[in-house]
């Protein structure tokens, strides 16, 4: 079911910037979190958080703080984690946040608009639909969604 909502060109641009991180680029300018909302018939950028904005902060906790209890949104999350094999990974996660306490009409609009956004989200490794913080609201449960053998999420041990 298509909603008729279109993806703004700025979202496509920021997605491309998140996908291609150049080794010689300033890591402080790296985009880590992007909040998207539906406004005036378009999926638009509400907020962008770069590495420099999150300095000395727990990125996972910052991600959770973006999930408002009564407002739907989409979030693009550049998630950093480590596995048992000691490999460091950086993967893009697409989250649709549709809280149980949100308005039913808004939840339906976000659900029916997700496909138009997903068409431009090439390179996304993980897609999550979250309706309650109990879904993936702990570092442990979120880490399990990133794959088997995840031992650290955003520099913090899961055990």
pLDDT above 70: percentage of residues in the chain: 96
Residue 2's pLDDT band, with cuts at 50, 70 and 90, is low
Angle at 1 between CA 9 and CA 112, to 5 degrees: 55
pLDDT computed for residue 26 by the predictor: 79
pLDDT above 90: percentage of residues in the chain: 66
Q: Residue 89 pLDDT more than 60?
A: yes
3-state SS assignment for residue 54: helix
Mean pLDDT for all residues in the chain: 90
Select 6-77+88-133's CATH number: 3.30.70.1520, 3.40.718.10, 3.30.1330.10, 3.40.20.10.
3.40.20.10
The pair of structure tokens assigned to 69 is 């209890």
The predicted-structure confidence for 95-130, as pLDDT tens digits, reads as follows: 999 999 989 999 999 999 999 898 888 888 899 999
**Measured between alpha carbons, how far is 87 from 153 in angstroms, rounded to an integer?**
12
Q: Residue 1 pLDDT more than 60?
A: no
pLDDT computed for residue 3 by the predictor: 65
The predicted-structure confidence for 25-53, as pLDDT tens digits, reads as follows: 778 889 999 999 999 999 999 999 999 99
The pLDDT of 60-75, averaged and rounded, is 94
How many CB atoms within 10 Å of residue 112? 14
37 beta partners: 44
Q: Residue 92 pLDDT more than 60?
A: yes
pLDDT computed for residue 128 by the predictor: 92
Structural domain boundaries of the chain? 6-77+88-133
**Measured between alpha carbons, how far is 66 from 61 in angstroms, rounded to an integer?**
9
Residue 22's pLDDT band, with cuts at 50, 70 and 90, is low
């Amino acid at each position: 079911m298509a909603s008729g909502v279109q993806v703004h060109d700025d979202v496509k641009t920021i997605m491309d910037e998140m996908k291609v991180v150049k080794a010689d680029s300033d890591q402080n300018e790296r985009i880590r979190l992007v909040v998207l909302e539906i406004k005036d018939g378009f999926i638009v950028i509400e907020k962008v958080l770069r590495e420099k904005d999150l300095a000395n902060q727990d990125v996972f906790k910052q991600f959770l703080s973006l999930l408002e209890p009564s407002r739907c949104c989409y979030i693009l999350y550049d998630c950093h984690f480590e596995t048992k094999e000691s490999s460091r990974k950086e993967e893009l996660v697409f989250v649709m946040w549709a809280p149980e306490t949100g308005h039913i009409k808004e939840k339906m609009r976000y659900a029916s608009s997700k496909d138009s956004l997903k068409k431009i989200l090439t390179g996304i490794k993980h897609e999550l639909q979250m309706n309650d913080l109990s879904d993936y609201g702990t570092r442990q449960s979120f880490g399990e969604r990133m794959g088997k053998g995840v031992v650290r999420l955003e520099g913090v041990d899961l055990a």
